[in-house]
Structure 1
């Protein structure tokens, strides 16, 4: 029974990680037009798999993307300097959409694994009752 509970723990850790990843993607999309905003990336801590380890992937630190921000020419903008430029953000919406899809698919895979482990433990309990 411990193997099934370990798989539930690992898949729930994966669900938590992917939900945090989606949260950061949504923050990036929401701030895509914010001047000076730097894209946030979530680092992932993984451990080597062993049968005694119930630790799944864990969210690490939030890292700011070091890609240079765009210099946008708009002399009417309140943040524009003397040359008419201001710093935009380094968020690329195409990359954010791809990251959101990848996180969504990984979330669905973890959810499916969680559901299967739950069904298997239910079936095991039914067999033990008979």
Structure 2
């Protein structure tokens, strides 16, 4: 009975790690949402993306999740007229980061809920393991 419970904690742990990495990437995007280039005409901060992959855990006989890669979004940079900005080109245009705060907030909310679900699953498995051990003692 304990083996499936231990397996579920290991699977939950992989989910927690994946969502934690996702939250770090989102946080970096939010923190740099206004970071323009440092020199005239230079590129601003480029939004980061994260991709996951399913991994077969042979010991558990189940699939877990892992970070496949952290990449960059190839969406175009929005351009804004701001001649006083140090990153403005000769026409006064400044490239802004390709970070959409609405998307980042939605992603953050989803990642947070997934993290909480994995954490709750781990708590439940731990409680069941404890109850099983108590039953075995008595």
Pick the TM interval, shorter chain: over 0.9
| Contact 1:43 1:59 (8 Å CA) reproduced | yes
1:47 counterpart SS class:
strand
Shift of residue 51 of structure 1? Answer: 7.8
Shift of residue 71 of structure 1? Answer: 1.1
What is the TM-score normalised by the length of structure 2? 0.87
1:56 maps to 2:40 = no
1:46 counterpart SS class:
strand
Question: Any residues of structure 2 matched to 1:33-112 within 5 Å, and which?
Answer: 33-35=34-36, 36-47=44-55, 52-53=60-61, 56-112=64-120
What is the TM-score normalised by the length of structure 1? 0.93
Unpaired runs of 5+ residues, structure 1, are none
- Would you say how many aligned residue pairs link Structure 1 and Structure 2? 130
Distance in structure 1 (CA, Å) of the matches to 2:123 and 2:114: 14
Distance in structure 2 (CA, Å) of the matches to 1:76 and 1:127: 72
Unpaired runs of 5+ residues, structure 2, are 37-43
The one of 119, 123, 126 equivalent to 1:118 is 126
| Contact 2:15 2:64 (8 Å CA) reproduced | yes
Q: Which one has a larger percent strand, Structure 1 or Structure 2?
A: 2
Moved over 6 A (4+): none
Distance in structure 2 (CA, Å) of the matches to 1:99 and 1:93: 10
| Contact 2:87 2:94 (8 Å CA) reproduced | yes
Distance in structure 2 (CA, Å) of the matches to 1:56 and 1:82: 51
